[in-house]
Every structure is written in structure tokens, then in C-alpha cells.
Amino acid sequence: MTQEFLKRVFTDRSEAASILDDFIRRTGDPIAVNDLENNLLYGTSYDLPDSKSPKHPILVEGETVGWVSGGDQSEFVAELLTYLVTREAEKEELLDEILDLYRQINLLFNLSEKLATSLELETVAKMTLDEACRLIDASSGAVILIDKDGAPRQIAAMGQVIPAQFESRPRDGIIGSVLTNACGEIVNDVQSDPRYTQEIGSMHSLLCTPLLSKNKVMGVIIIGNQSPGTYIAADLSLLNTLASQATPAIENAQLYEQTLEQAKEREEILLKQVTELRIELDEVRQKEKVAEITGSEYYQRLRKRADILRSIIDKRNP
């Protein structure tokens, strides 16, 4: 890759090439710059040194990326190119870092827009986890919420799922430590950590941060990699940002879930009351019907006849 930086120094728009031109014109020294494959990057075939000409390396972080050969000034030119290529490499690194930050800003912006439109707890948790794994390069993770009774509830999981053992001892291990201390952690060698417990499974390195609402821990988000890798402070900082964005959305979703649950309960109670009322109403109606029938003239006549017949039978069978 560093060889590319050497080539870039000699691109058309490079100021370095024109400075070098100017310098060589003034000194009158023939100079040739070659890459490691001996391709000529600067100079002409006329300037190509014979095997006896001294060759001076262009070094970037101790690695040779090309050679300068020619006249007396070739050593100085090699040093100058070493400086320019190093600067080019540093510039590229900084640009990449800034572009990564731009990427993160856009992803966070998009995530907050998406979170604002979702009221389903599982969806909110999954969106957060997906973005975290994408932004911070993780192969697995989970969003775990702690209910009022302190019991954990896994809302979303990706890759390796946190096993059920965690549910019985939520305050143990690395996750437990984050829940207790309300502080995010980077663990780059999980299996050597004294707090290692099985719930982490075969994660090699992990990031775990609390979901904090008004200084109260409502859960954690944990992501990790099964392959060796090193998380840095910037990764944890990014996960903290994601967690702080997700927390209000999770709270809203929980509130919505509770409201739905309460509405459902109210509806069930109401249905039960309506059913009971209906039964009572039916009973009243039946009583009214009976009263209506027994109070009718026809019924009274029948009743009289029945009484007469009963008295006749009684007389015959004393």
C-alpha cells in the first residue's frame, strides 16, 4: 500500500514532482526514482543509473518503498521523498479517519430518524444492535433489559445468543459488572478475564455498555467478536453514543408496550363486565317474562281449572 503513496507523489497534480523538477534543473544532476518492481516513476531512461550508481532507499516506517539513483544529490532526494511519502501516508490515514467519522455521523443520524418512527421494543432493540455491529465490527451481540424485579429479558440478539444461564444470575460476570457499576467496558481477552462466565460463550473480545435512564440502569448492550480483534476507547465511546440514542426509544417502546398491555387488560375487564351485565339482564328479562305469563288472564284461568281439578282428585282420593 505504501508503494501507492510513492506513485501518488508523482501524479500530474503533485507539487512534489514540480519541486523535484526545479531542484534537479538547478543542480543539473541526473536522478531516477524507481519502485520496488524497478518501474521508473520519475526521470527518463537517459537518467537510469548503471549498476555502479549508488542506490538510496525511500523508506516509510522502516519499509523500503522505492529507490533513488543518479548523481550526488540522489541521497538527499531519497530523504526528501521519504519525508513526502510519509506525509502522504499520514494524510491518507487522517482522511480515512475523518471519513469514518462522517460515516458514523450519517449512520447515527439515520438511526435516530428510524428509532423515532418505531414503537416496537424488539424492532428498536434490533435496529440498535444491527447498527452497533455494523459500525463497530462485531459478529454477535445482544440487548438485555432488566425488569422491575431485576430479572433480565433479552430483547434482541445477533449471532451467538447469550445462553439461558445468564437469566438465573444476571449480576455475575462481565455483564453483571457493567449492570452493577453502570459503566461501559472493553474486554479484549474475554477468556482470561477473571469475571469470565459461560454467558459470554466463545467471544474473544467484547464491548458492553449500560442503557442508562436518569442514572438508572435499565439494561445493557453487548457486542463482540469471536475472532481475535482489539477494541479501542473510540469503539466504546461510539457504543455509548448508540446506547444513549437507543435508551429513550426503548423507554418509549416500553411505555407503548405497557399502555397496550393496560388497554388490553382494561378491555378484558370491560368484556367480562359486559358479559356479567348481559347475564343479569337476561335473568331480569326472564323473570319479567315469567311475571308477564303468570299475570295473564289465560294463565289465571288455567290455574283456576288446575285448582278445581286438584280439589276433585283430592275428594275422590281422601
Query: Which residues contribute to the site for another protein (CB under 8 A)?
Result: 91-92, 95-96, 98-99, 101-103, 105-107, 109
At its nearest, how many Å lie between another protein and the CB of residue 186? 26
Helices (H) and strands (E) in the chain, counts: 8, 9
Cβ distance to another protein smaller for residue 106 or 294: 106
Nearest residue (CB) to another protein, 12 versus 149: 12
Query: Could you tell me the three cell numbers for 225?
Result: 467478536
Q: How many CB atoms lie within 10 A of CB 172?
A: 17
Q: How many CB atoms lie within 10 A of CB 30?
A: 18
Task: From 85, 94, 71, 67, select the one nearest 10 (Cα to Cα).
Answer: 85
DSSP secondary structure of 251-277: HHHHHHHHHHHHHHHHHHHHHHHHHHH
Contact between 156 and 125 under an 8 Å Cβ cutoff? The reply is yes
Instruction: Tell me the closest approach of the beta carbon of residue 188 to another protein, in angstroms.
Output: 28
Q: Write down the least CB distance from residue 105 to another protein, Å.
A: 5
The residue (of 135 and 144) whose beta carbon lies closer to another protein is 135
CA angle 261, 153, 206 (to 5 degrees): 145
Between 121 and 136, CB nearer to another protein = 136
Q: Measured on CA atoms in the order 60, 56, 80, 65, is the torsion positive or negative?
A: negative
- Our CB check for another protein shows the closer of 1 and 164 to be 1
Cβ 96 to another protein shortest distance, Å: 7
Smallest distance, another protein to C-beta of residue 98, A: 6
